[in-house]
Amino acid sequence: MSISIKNEAEINKMRIAGKLAAEVLEMIEPHVIPGITTNELDQICHDYIVNDQQAIPAPLNYRGFPKSICTSINQTICHGIPSEKKLKKGDIINIDITVIKDEYHGDTSKMFCVGASSQHAKRLIDITQECLFLGIEQVKPGTTLGDIGHAIQTHAESNRYSIVREFCGHGIGKNFHEDPHVMHFGKPGEGDILEAGMIFTIEPMLNIGKRHMKVLKDGWTAVTKDRSLSAQWEHTILVTPTGHEVLTLRKEEM
Ligand code: MF3
Ligand code: CO
Ligand code: CO
């Protein structure tokens, strides 16, 4: 397989899908409070995507995934399945939204603190977001995937966090997951060279403890083996002739 180069028409559709995914995260923010269940968050997002955005929640039935969003709490790394579990004060949660609009995907996630969170949880969340943006800063024609991974790995490890290796960023377009694999660790100059028109996600997952994970019996929920806290942030990024454009930017980031 090779990395597709999107044309102007495809890029415009990806801009729309990306903006919609970002707007779901903005919409859900005031609902992420103690006492709400992740099923309720799922239902609110599902209805908003389907009815207000006239779009499709990509996770629903994707390879058997049963819900419209992923909700990953505390020691859950990613792919948490919404359930009847209530959020409680002090929890940290990643909400991962992928929408399909006019056949194209937009994929983005962010961390929320439920009520107030501990200082050590906040520090993990902040460093993980910094890792995402350090990775994004690398994106321009001529740099390599290894440059992105290296920037992320260096910042995470210099702050004594570990990086999950089993999951990575990915090309995205008409398919949810396309080439390339965008690793969150690596060596400068290694891997594929970026070209204008490529679109992929960067979505680092950092743990306070060791990097190792296990998948629960539900076949999806990935948790830290040592039960330490984990955080993740994700954006969908276009390589432009001069650098990059983040297709899933929220107002709070502009
Ligand atoms: N949104 C996730 C990603 O960033 C993928 C979720 S797959 C699902 O790649 F089936 F769990 F939804
Ligand atoms: Co993704
Ligand atoms: Co995602």
pLDDT in tens, 14-69: 999 999 999 999 999 999 999 999 999 999 999 999 999 999 999 999 999 999 99
102-113 pLDDT, tens digit per residue, is 999 999 999 999
Ligand 1 atom nearest to CA at 177:
9
Between the CA of 59 and the centroid of ligand 1 the distance, in Å, is 6
**Band of residue 165 on the pLDDT scale cut at 50, 70, 90:** very high
Q: What is the mean pLDDT of residues 89-103?
A: 99
d(CA 248, CA 187): 27
d(CA 138, CA 193): 12
pLDDT at 1 > cutoff 80:
no
Nearest CA to ligand 1 atom 8: 59
Question: What would the two tokens of residue 203 be?
Answer: 């979505």
Between the CA of 170 and the centroid of ligand 2 the distance, in Å, is 6
pLDDT score for 119 = 98
Single-letter code of the amino acid located at 214 = K
From the list 193, 206, 78, 245, the residue with the least C-alpha distance to 253 is: 245
Nearest CA to ligand 1 atom 3: 107
